[in-house]
Chains A and B, each alone.
Chain A
Amino acid sequence: MSKDILKDALEEILNESYEEMTGLDIPDYDFSDSFKEKMEKLTAVPEEKAEKKHRKIGWMAISALTAAAAAVCIWTGVKSTPKLEPKNSDTGNIITATEDSTGVTEVPGGIVRTTAPGTDIKYTVTTTAGSETPITSAEVINGNGNNTVNGGGSTYTRPSGKPAQTPKVTVTTARTSVQAAVTTVTSAHILPHVPEVTVPPDKPHSELDEQTADYERSIVMKKFLASAAAAATLMNVIPTGTQAAYEPPTVDHYMSEYIFPALEDGTVSPDINNDGVFDRYDIAALWSYVIRRVDYLPEGSRLVSDSDLELIAERGDIDQDYMIRMNDLLYFTRYYLYKNGVDPEDLDIYNYPDTNGNVTLTSFYFVDHLKTLAFSDNYLYKYASDLIKNENIDLDFNCDGKADIYDLFEYQMYTYSSYESPFNDSAAKKLVPISSITWDKCNEYHEKNFFDNRSDETLVRYYIFNTPFDADVLNYNNYYDYFNQLISQTSLTAAEKKDMGKSLKALPAAFSSNIKEAALEADLATVTSHSYKLDRQFDADYQDELDEAIADFEAKMLSGTVAPPDANLDGSCDMDDYKTILDFASDLERGNDATTSISLAPDIWDHLDNEFDLNNDGVSGDILDLQIAEAIITKYTNDDSVDLNALLDAFSSDSEAQAADKEAVATVNQIKYLEAFSGKTIERSGDADGDNQMKMNDAVLIMQTISNPDKYQLTTWGEFNSDVANTGDGITPMDALGIQNRLLKK
């Protein structure tokens, strides 16, 4: 109320003062020429500036709103995904037959390398020296015995009807070189022979598959949403070049200069497990040692035995600094990837059973490590790039006679649909406005890269790095128009077209964002200043929007849904945050960023720039966010009725727990996904209460959660670990019994 009185009083004075001014007898000043000249220049500028700003604001506001609205539409679309039918366990979606090979094919030139991992899944890997003539085709035989891929590169083919995960098949890989070699990997594990595999319209799947598909979908949605939001924040990307000068590097200078030579010249042996060969199991051995998963997983889950651990302690110091630590693991893994590139077999968790022959969480974590580095160090990119070049893959997915950026846009739509409906191709095709032929061609390519969950991004990068750069590819409007054109060409009704346009609205923004990121990576574009974040205040409706946003945020904050603004990350919400916000606004105005800010530490600047989206509009740290924070802090700093810091503390502890649980759910879902597609389960530890041990109280806790679920609940990990009996059927009394049996056997 005080504020209102003050405002009214000030207005009254302002009007009085204006009346006084109108009554003044002001002389006619004879302004100087320099003053007149200065003012002439100045009067010419503002209108021009205002016009430019108007155009810019219109574009930006629309894009940001589009991204935000599209995100909502996509989520709505996710929820309406049709339910899938349970799978008949007799008709597994996993490949069921391999060549019955009991021996190794003799190839002239002699055997030069053999790897036998010594696990229950027996492989014989044989590399034979080739002739001087480069090998131009490689036969790939899967369970059907009928998939053949031609080309000189390392290839891998997924059998039809199997959405993901590496099949246990016979693979023949050809390397193109003068002294070409042929490596034959032969499965000696004899599986029931199925002479003919027919693919039903719906790919076989189980309820568990549905859960895992949900997980995959959530990953894709997060990616699209992130990209859509990024499209709003990266809109100020401008072109700076015409052709990428390099391809994404797979090895850095430090490694090739200082680390790899020691491995190459024998100073350090890459044969960590001392079995006579350098292969993926050496990486697994060092990983086991460094990560020390053995500390909290059941003893049987170790990938290596105690004696191996002792061996690794002697041989694992890759960088020769007298310590075996994460650096050694990273260097060594990179060296392996450098020498071998991506081999899909390396990324199959079922190639890494523990010392008891079981595939456990340990296997999953190890593959995750390998895959993370393969992606970040561009080996997944290189795999795709080599594949395209060596097999001369036609990227003209839409069959319009040219392979251009719009083919990749359609490929992205394909990936979206295939994650949306992983078991039913015909249903997937209906989700997106691309033709059936295009969808099939995209699918054909995806089959070759199925282990790359980001193959759409990889393709965009390939395009940006390998074609002359046309700045027009950065134009979001192109994709928006193309997308609408595709929808208009479908045979859908007008209402259906409208629904499709609404539900997939984020796709053009997400694709545009991928292109911008690739262009930035290739030094073909640069991001202009962040100052656009302040421009929104000039929008005609800004004040109304701000009032609404403040009220909305305040209501959410008081109900505990969102945290009070902690701009400087000091764990409290006070006037220091207010000052931080002002400093940030000042930086934006001056064109400073995290590195050039004088007042703010880089982490705080980045926090405001990327994580301070108080109105949840996809743009962090813009004028709306800053003014919301300003309003909240100034209002409640002097209001004892609300303790902002208590609200902040309560929210932080809740959100930490929620974040931890989300992470657990995501990881567990990912594991279930792998299990579903491989048809094999990972050994459960029996640790229901999360104390890293399996004891009788775990069995008791399981029974308690069954009999009194209101009082006792298992955590996500606890539930996962407890499902020891008939794994996959959820928590039952049999699991408690299973734990007791295990303990008795001990």
Chain B
Amino acid sequence: MELCLDSSAETSSKISFEEIYLKNRRLMMYTAMNILNNFADAEDCVSEAFLRFSKNFEKYSNLDCPKMTSLLVIIVRNAALDKYRENQKICLSETPDEDVGAVSLDSYSFDSVISAIKHLKDEYKDVLMLRYVYGYNINEISVLLKIGSDNVYKRIQRARKALAKILDEGGGKI
């Protein structure tokens, strides 16, 4: 495993792009392979993910190790999902959705929310991660996931709606 062994270690801006690449490429390849099961396509996704990552490298290089690795996994996972859909000739365009009201999580326990998030589809989970954990705005997420800004917005809305639904149906109860 080439991940940071010491997650508390300061990765900071001193880490070079090459180091990040060398440390994470296998995990990213593994992630892509799990979705695509095709070596060449997985390589394409990994290189595509690094390309997107490189566009804002200066910013991302300040992330700590778990967040940076997770970010790369998120990017490559979404790239792989896109590739998968492309291969399946599935045209997934985010269609307009009804407005989603605010999701109140106050009435649920923390563990329920965690459990509910785990039930979410990866793409929903990823977009919520990017928005709320990484604090990226719609535009930045759009660049990372290579989808339109509208789609990012809609995906966040849907993810919150799906989360609310899981919680309402008791899916988040432990």
Using a CB–CB cutoff of 8 Å, the interface residues on chain A facing chain B are 1-3, 5-15, 17-18, 21-24, 26-29, 31-32, 35, 38-39, 42-43, 45-47, 49-50, 53-54, 534, 537-538, 543, 578-579, 582-583, 585-586, 589, 626-627, 630, 638
Contact = CB atoms under 8 A, between A and B. Distances in A.
4 nearest CB pairs, A to B: A582-B149, A46-B57, A50-B58, A18-B66
A31 B110 CA distance: 42
B170 interface: no
Given A2-B106, A582-B138, A630-B137, 16 more contacts: A1-B106, A2-B103, A9-B110, A9-B117, A17-B73, A18-B69, A18-B70, A23-B1, A29-B25, A29-B39, A32-B40, A35-B46, A42-B50, A43-B17, A46-B17, A585-B149
26 contacts: A2-B103, A6-B163, A9-B110, A10-B132, A12-B114, A15-B66, A21-B73, A24-B1, A24-B30, A29-B26, A39-B21, A39-B47, A39-B50, A43-B18, A49-B54, A53-B58, A534-B139, A537-B59, A538-B58, A543-B135, A579-B153, A582-B153, A583-B149, A586-B142, A627-B137, A638-B101
Interface of B: 1, 3, 7, 16-18, 21, 25-27, 29-30, 39-40, 43, 46-47, 50-51, 54, 56-59, 61, 66-67, 69-70, 73, 101-106, 108, 110, 113-114, 117-118, 125, 128-129, 132-133, 135, 137-140, 142-143, 148-150, 153, 163
B52 to A, nearest CB: 11
B65 to A, nearest CB: 8
Nearest to B140: A537
Given A10-B133, A32-B40, A21 B128 contact: no
Interface centre among B58, B108, B135, B142 (most CB of A within 10 A): B58
A27 B16 contact: no
B57 A31 contact: no
Query: DSSP class of B's interface residues: helix, strand, loop or mixed?
Result: helix
A14 B67 contact: yes
A183 to B, nearest CB: 65
A13 B3 contact: no
B64 to A, nearest CB: 10
Contacts of B47: 35, 38-39, 42
Nearest to B133: A10
Given A630-B137, A638-B102, A21 B3 contact: yes
A585 B73 CA distance: 26
Given A29-B29, A35-B47, A589-B139, A47 B150 contact: no
A579 B17 contact: no
B118 to A, nearest CB: 7
A426 B21 CA distance: 68
B54 to A, nearest CB: 4
B109 to A, nearest CB: 9
A46 B113 contact: no
Nearest to A34: B43
Contacts of A626: 139
A14 B74 CA distance: 10
Nearest to A28: B26
Nearest to A627: B137
B53 to A, nearest CB: 8
A11 B104 CA distance: 18
B60 to A, nearest CB: 9
Given A10-B117, A46-B54, A47-B17, A579 B150 contact: yes
B113 A5 contact: yes
A9 B113 contact: yes
A39 B101 CA distance: 43
B7 A18 contact: yes
B132 A45 contact: no
Contacts of B101: 638
Given A39-B47, A45-B54, A50-B58, A21 B132 contact: no
A14 to B, nearest CB: 5
A585 B51 CA distance: 20
Contacts of A2: 102-106
Contacts of B132: 3, 6-7, 10
Contact of A42 (B3, B39, B54): B54
Contacts of B133: 7, 10-11, 14
A633 B26 CA distance: 41
Given A24-B30, A43-B18, A578-B153, A589 B143 contact: yes
Contacts of B67: 14
B74 to A, nearest CB: 9
A13 B125 contact: yes
